[in-house]
Amino acid sequence: SVTLYGRVDLSVGNLKDKVKNTSTTQMFQGGDGGLTTSRWGLRGTEDLGGGLKAAFKLENRFNADTGASQDPYFKGESSLSLTGGFGEVKLGRSTTVYDDVRALGQKFDVFDSAFTASSNGVFKGAGGDYASRFDNKISYYTPVMGGFYAGLDFAFDEDATKSADRHALKLGYKDKAFEIALAHQNEKDKGDKYTALAGSYDFGSFALSAVYNHRNGSAANGDDNEYALGVTVPVGAWSLSAGYAHAKTKKSTAGAKDGKAHGFALGATYALSKRTRLYAGYRDVVVKNAAGAKTKDERLYAVGVRHDF
């Protein structure tokens, strides 16, 4: 009734900061220069009869290069849910439905990894730093009905003195090869609203994913328009992928956060088994401010190994 699982991801590579003119060769924990952050967790389900199930998931994230736990302890997920014909109700900390849709838009974009340009530098560089997980969250996910599905998140602010609850919504459609979804996330405490449209299509010999995102931001943060595109080609035990991302920020107070960012990434994985992969990745990201000066010009490459257990 309880499954112990996890993943260790480590790589060696180089990060070049062309603005500061520094170059650092290092070992990366997966989340900084690999496929994914290392983790271990506990999960399980219980059949309650009548189609009803209880399920839990507790997932720690850690930096495998130093052995340090990330914070909070169960950063990845800390949830309890009831599932039935009605769908699923989940309580606790877990990814938002908006993040699910962002992940869909990066599904074939350099393995939705630390190399993926959109989420690592381009979108963040231009301001798109939405919360990927909510604490104190109650979620409802519909079953998939005729291909259609929806999900709703509501997170309590737990503050008697203000109204700063967070919420998110997704609507999607999927069949075997194709999926498209729309999501909206409102982080009242920050004054930022995010809207994303994402899709993926697996043509067999290759697969595509894309995402368009708009942030209706606070006066200080300004508004963003962002898009990303990725392609993955399987070749035997190899998987080759490339992605491009672009973002533009405008209307921030006095233009302080206005600017543009773009980046691209290349990656390859080689499956030693279902559970173990070798990989190499390359990412190049440039961020410019309103005056056109580079505030970030970063190049990362690394080779590594990822093992699931």
Q: Provide the binding-site residues for a second copy, judged by CB under 8 A.
A: 1-2, 4-6, 8-10, 12, 17, 22-27, 40, 42, 44, 46, 48-49, 52, 54, 56, 58, 62-69, 71-80, 82, 91-93, 135-138, 156, 158-161, 272-273, 275-276, 304-305, 307, 309
Q: How far is the CB of 301 from a second copy (least distance, A)?
A: 15
Residue number, 78 or 186, with CB nearest to a second copy: 78
Residue number, 37 or 209, with CB nearest to a second copy: 37
Q: How far is the CB of 172 from a second copy (least distance, A)?
A: 26
Rounded distance between C-alpha atoms, residue 196 and residue 168, angstroms: 11
Q: How far is the CB of 126 from a second copy (least distance, A)?
A: 25
> What's the token pair of residue 209?
């994913």
Residue number, 82 or 152, with CB nearest to a second copy: 82
Residue number, 55 or 144, with CB nearest to a second copy: 55
Residue number, 133 or 215, with CB nearest to a second copy: 133
Q: How far is the CB of 151 from a second copy (least distance, A)?
A: 18
Q: How far is the CB of 122 from a second copy (least distance, A)?
A: 23
Instruction: Evaluate whether 29 touches 69 at the Cβ level (below 8 Å).
Output: no
Q: Which of 288, 240, 291 is nearest to 266 (CA)?
A: 240
> What's the token pair of residue 74?
């169960």
Measured in whole angstroms, the distance separating CA 11 from the mean position of its chain's CA atoms is 20
Residue number, 72 or 147, with CB nearest to a second copy: 72
Q: How far is the CB of 72 from a second copy (least distance, A)?
A: 4
Q: How far is the CB of 292 from a second copy (least distance, A)?
A: 26
